[in-house]
Amino acid sequence: MTKELAHIVSQLARADGYARRYGLFYFSNDDLTGGIHLQSSQWCDGVYTNIGILPTKVIPLPTKPPAIEYWPLSGRADRLNGPFKDLFSKLAESAALISAHDAQQMFPWLLQWMRDAIQDTEGLRKAILHRRNHSYISQICDLPTEWMMADWANDKLRSWEYYYPIQ
C-alpha cells in the first residue's frame, strides 16, 4: 500500500496545485508555505503524515523547500481534529490498515485543511503576536515560540541561514 498511497497522494496533490519534492507536497502563497510529507516508519510498515507551515520568504530556493522537520510549525496529521484523525493514526501503525478508498477520502481533506491554514495569514500573525492560540497552530504543535515565526509576524524575517546556521 505504501507505493500505492504515495501515488494516490501525488495525483491528488498535483490536481490541487501542490508542487512535489521527493515525499514533500507543498503549496505557497506570498506569505506562507504549507507542506505535507509522507514518511515511512523505520520500525513497521506505517506511514507518518507530517505537516508544516513555513514563511515563504525564508525558503532558500523556492523549488527546494527544506525538510519539514525544520519548519517552525510542524507536527503530524493524526493530531488534527477532523473526520480522519483515526485513519491518520491507523496509517502510522500500518499502511495495510488503510484502503485506497480511505486515502482518496482523507488526503483531499488534508490538502484543503493545509490550504485553508496558510490562507489565514492574518489570523496566524495575530495569534503569534499576541501569544494566543489559533485553531491551526494548536492542532499541529504547541504555541510557537520559534524566532522565525515571531520575526515573520513582526515583519522582521531574516534569511534561512540566520535561523539554521550551517554547521
pLDDT tens-digit series, residues 69-105: 888 888 899 988 899 999 999 999 998 899 999 999 9
Handedness of CA 120, 121, 122, 126 (dihedral sign): positive
1-12 pLDDT tens trace? 578 888 999 999
pLDDT value at residue 108: 97
- Provide the CB-side half-sphere exposure for 164 (13 A, CA): 11
Whether the Cβ atoms of residue 70 and residue 28 lie closer than 8 Å to each other = no
18-41 pLDDT tens trace? 999 888 999 999 999 999 999 988
Q: Which residues contact 106 (CB under 8 A, 6 or more apart)?
A: 84, 87, 88, 98
